[in-house]
Amino acid sequence: MAHTRETLDSALERVFRDHSQQLFISALAVTGCPERAEDAVQEAFYRLFRMKQKPRHLKAYVFRTVRNAALNQRKEKSAEGMEDVEFIFAAEEGPGDSAERNEFRQRAAQAMKNLSDDERETVISRLYADLTFRQIGRVRDTSVNTVCSWYRRGMQKLRKELGDES
């Protein structure tokens, strides 16, 4: 049992180390608030490190646990939609960015706010958390076809709203 516990802890540490930014972004896609997203990730890993055995698809299980914690955070704090979708561009911003590029980022963030929760979470999970459709399906406990539909509809809406710039 000690060896299994050690192996599970090591695997969880590796998933966190390799995917912490994507986990945070996934939680942020649900909560719309950086502080709540951080709380969700911490809450999820607190639960994960108390697990007895390693699940079959650990990465998807971790993302699902983070998503569930984010949903709890959103429910508990009674969030009113997405407060800040600009987070998806924050790492790229710098003094050399043009005003035109920054304006596009703001328009893209506003367009993301106009997507349904399912579409927004799926687009962010695919593009910014780098999850496959199959992984998103496991995280969301839904079929790959449904995930693909949410993604396709979300991307169509974004392209329509952003025009040629997208």
pLDDT tens-digit readout, 27-76 = 988 888 888 999 999 999 999 999 888 888 888 899 999 999 999 988 87
The domain that holds 115 is classified in CATH as 1.10.10.10
In this prediction, residue 101 carries a pLDDT of: 72
**Which structural domain range is residue 155 located in?**
86-165
Q: For 101-136, give one letter per residue: b (16+ CB within 10 A) or e.
A: eeebbeebbebbeebeebbbbbbbbbebbebebebb
- Please give the tally of structural domains in the chain: 2
157, 115 in Cβ contact below 8 A?
Answer: yes
DSSP code at position 128: T
Q: How confident is the model at residue 88 (pLDDT cuts 50, 70, 90)?
A: low
Query: Is position 91 within any domain?
Result: yes
In this prediction, residue 89 carries a pLDDT of: 55
Q: Supply the pTM of this predicted model.
A: 0.71
Query: Is position 81 within any domain?
Result: no
Amino acid at 62: V
Residue 96: helix, strand or coil by DSSP? coil
Query: Is position 29 within any domain?
Result: yes
Q: 68 and 43 in one domain?
A: yes
Last residue of a domain, one of 76, 106, 124: 76
Q: 51 and 92 in one domain?
A: no
Q: Specify whether the backbone of 32 is left (phi greater than 0), alpha (psi in -120 to 50) or beta.
A: left
pLDDT tens-digit readout, 94-115 = 555 677 777 777 788 788 888 9
